[in-house]
Chain A
Amino acid sequence: MIVDLLGWIVLLVSIALVCTGAFCSMVGGLGLVRLPDFYARLHSGGITDTAGAGLILFGLMVYSGFNLATLKLMVILVFFLITSPSACHALARSAMDHGVKPEVDEATVGES
């Protein structure tokens, strides 16, 4: 009975993690379409790469327990956490080198 209760707790925790990850992923996709500037869109894409992917993979890891699938998911997660910020950094640097200007509000430039 106590093992069954533990299974339900694991199920609820993994469902919460996976649903939060799906929500972050959808919000990032919506921001990728709706935001007005390239750098703002880059920020939104970074959210989906870290929060969405990390939470979904972590939820799958929690459900799976200790086996080979968890090891593979951990390898994928570590790879994401290394490559995604570096990819965003390279993309922003390349865009800045090519002269993509960020949109600034002209009325608030000199105030800060």
Chain B
Amino acid sequence: MLELREMIWAGVLVGVAISVLVTLSLAFFRAQMGPTVFDRILALNMFGTKTVLLICVIAFWSGRTDFLDLALLFSLMSFIGMVAVLRFTTVGNFKGDQLP
């Protein structure tokens, strides 16, 4: 009975991973087609979030929950990268001493 439950759970996780991959491809489409740079940054942000979700789902699917450390690290890295890109589009350089 326990094995049946784990099989159902693994199937559901495969479905969730596929839907997250579909969302990733849609965000990639918007990142390529975006008319402004802010659309591309938004798609980049969503790409980072969905990658973290995909890592979490794969960690539970394969039973190796050590992957969650990678997910945490990736979320930190994605947020810092997005703030850096926003600062670059606002100020124009990475020094940050000439705010408008």
Contacts and interface: CB of A to CB of B under 8 A. Distances in A.
Contacts of B13: 18
Contact of A79 (B5, B57, B76): B76
Interface string A88-101: 10110011011010
Contacts of B1: 4
A42 B29 contact: no
Interface residues of A, number: 50
Contacts of A7: 2, 5
- The listed residue with most A CB atoms (<10 A of its CB), out of B1, B36, B52, B53, is B53
Interface of A is mostly: helix
Contacts of B46: 28-29, 32, 45, 48-49
Interface residues of B, number: 48
Contacts, number: 141
Given A11-B8, A26-B22, A72-B65, A91 B86 contact: yes
B75 to A, nearest CB: 6
Nearest to B74: A76
Nearest to A68: B65
29 contacts: A11-B5, A14-B9, A15-B9, A15-B12, A22-B15, A22-B19, A22-B20, A23-B19, A25-B50, A28-B23, A29-B22, A32-B46, A38-B42, A41-B42, A42-B42, A49-B49, A52-B23, A53-B49, A56-B20, A64-B65, A68-B65, A72-B69, A76-B52, A76-B71, A76-B72, A80-B49, A98-B38, A98-B89, A100-B36
Q: In the A-B complex, list the 5 residue pairs whose CB atoms are closest, starting with the nearest.
A: A29-B23, A29-B26, A69-B65, A72-B68, A22-B19
